[in-house]
């Protein structure tokens, strides 16, 4: 490997060196990932499976979306499930004095 004297390089040269290194690292990681995938596929085939068969058997079920629990009184298109971050309209309503119960969707 060539010796590089970083002390004699300009800021732009150092920035270009960083970009080149980042690209080289990404390329290296991509090659490693492809090699690992090929090895995993070969190991699965040796045992009579495809890699897809092995992976599909262990995947998690997708999350189901929650039904809305709260609805904006003037704009019924605005709803919230009650989970996660509170939407701005909900916060505004509560701060304006509305009760949580007033925004509940009737079952």
87 and 51 in a common domain:
no
Computed over every residue of the chain, the mean pLDDT equals 89
Q: What's the structural domain count of the chain? A: 2
51 and 17 in a common domain:
yes
The whole-number pLDDT of residue 58 equals: 55
74 and 37 in a common domain:
no
18 within a domain of the structure (yes/no): yes
Range of the domain at 39: 10-56
4 within a domain of the structure (yes/no): no
Mean pLDDT of 57-78: 81
**Count of helix runs (H) and strand runs (E) in the chain:** 4, 2
Whether this model's pTM surpasses 0.85: no
pLDDT tens-digit readout, 42-51: 998 898 888 8
pLDDT tens-digit readout, 48-61: 888 888 887 654 55
Distances (CA, A) of 5 to 8, 65, 74: 6, 56, 67
Query: Is the separation of the CB atoms in 69 and 81 below 8 Å?
Result: yes
In terms of pLDDT, which residue wins out, 3 or 79? Answer: 79
61 within a domain of the structure (yes/no): no
Distances (CA, A) of 59 to 52, 55, 62, 67: 11, 6, 9, 24
32 within a domain of the structure (yes/no): yes
């Amino acid at each position: 490997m060539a010796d590089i004297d970083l002390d004699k390089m300009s800021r732009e040269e150092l920035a270009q060196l960083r970009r080149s290194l980042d690209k080289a690292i990404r390329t290296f990681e991509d090659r490693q990932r492809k090699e690992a995938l090929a090895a995993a596929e070969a190991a699965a085939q040796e045992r009579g499976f495809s890699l897809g068969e092995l992976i599909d058997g262990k995947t998690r079920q997708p999350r189901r979306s929650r039904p809305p629990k709260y609805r904006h009184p003037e704009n019924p298109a605005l709803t919230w499930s009650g989970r996660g971050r509170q939407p701005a309209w909900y916060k505004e309503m509560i701060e304006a004095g509305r009760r949580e119960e007033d925004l509940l969707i009737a079952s």
